Structure 1
């Protein structure tokens, strides 16, 4: 059973991924999201980074279909998403490591422009804009997730924030802020 916080976080994630806003997630939505991320950083879809990003998004999509597409229509409704994310990732945290973490890691590899394994505020805001997060909410998220107060987000801080966002039920987790307030 999902908590109210988990439902709000999953709703926010669903809205980010439903790029065409038709109420269902489809592979085209994840591809469009990948295109947005790549465009925000001037990365070619045909580059190694672009191919890796699309590969992990496609792999993530296949896991979603297997675990979440309850009626087999190759679309995922909001209800299927909430039920399925709970079963696939919250009740089975290893599912995060197998499917969601690689997609998050590939996204962060694109956003780490200078390859220093950290994102500064500007890189983070560009990353967040691809997901539809306002610059103000992205800055707030950055401040909350920067747990070591270094002024930069390490890839590990971001991967952990992703884990907390998708799996956590504790309202005090910093990862709840990954995409701004929920």
Structure 2
């Protein structure tokens, strides 16, 4: 069994727990793709809205390129150990392509969360996006927002979110601001 003791392992373990919250034993593609519908609903968008479809496509690409191959025992579920080992392998194997897929997902995610179309997300939009889709604690998200708002302007732009996402899924640096993407780690 994979030990969860490094910074990256702890972060991957946390995101796995959020993704697998509704399913015993592992995650499946439909759960990952449903994040698009859940996020759209949180911001009042129907499942067939173009922004929701764009996010669903980005999530499907991540699933097809990275996550589906993690099911090493062939049981149809990606369990905790498979997820942690697999995410590390995806990032190490072809980091440029992996980061491109993460970036496409972030851009699609942000297009939904930027409810007022001003090019940035505020703390309320940030809290809505992660509390309503991944079940993150609003109190944790308030702390996270403050850590991620690197320029202190009260908003997060797509570059700040993209950098935080990249750090969250790839960095072993215990001081990386992106470690705080979902709150204290």
TM-score (norm 2): 0.91
Describe the SS at the equivalent of 1:153: strand
Residues 99 and 75 (structure 1 numbering): CA distance in 2 closer, same or farther, change over 3 Å? farther
Q: How many residues align?
A: 182
Describe the SS at the equivalent of 1:75: coil
Q: Separation in 2 of the partners of 1:19 and 1:31?
A: 15
Alignment partner, residue 149 of structure 1: 152
- Structure 2: give runs of 5+ residues left out of the alignment: none
Describe the SS at the equivalent of 1:76: coil
Describe the SS at the equivalent of 1:172: coil
**Aligned partner (choices 128, 134, 139) of residue 136 of structure 1:** 139
Matches within 5 A, 1:1-182: 4-90=6-92, 92-129=94-131, 130-182=133-185
How far did residue 4 of structure 1 move?
A: 1.4
Residues 19 and 29 (structure 1 numbering): CA distance in 2 closer, same or farther, change over 3 Å? farther
Instruction: Give the 4+ runs in structure 1 shifted more than 6 A.
Output: none
Describe the SS at the equivalent of 2:45: coil
Q: Separation in 2 of the partners of 1:5 and 1:147?
A: 21
CA deviation profile, 1:132-182 (whole Å, cap 9, x unmatched): 111111110000000011110111100100000000110001000000011
Does the CA contact (< 8 Å) of 1:53 and 1:106 recur in 2? yes
How far did residue 90 of structure 1 move?
A: 4.2
CA RMSD of aligned residues (A): 1.8
Does the CA contact (< 8 Å) of 1:65 and 1:74 recur in 2? no
Q: More deviation in 86-95 or 160-169?
A: 86-95
Q: More deviation in 16-25 or 139-148?
A: 16-25
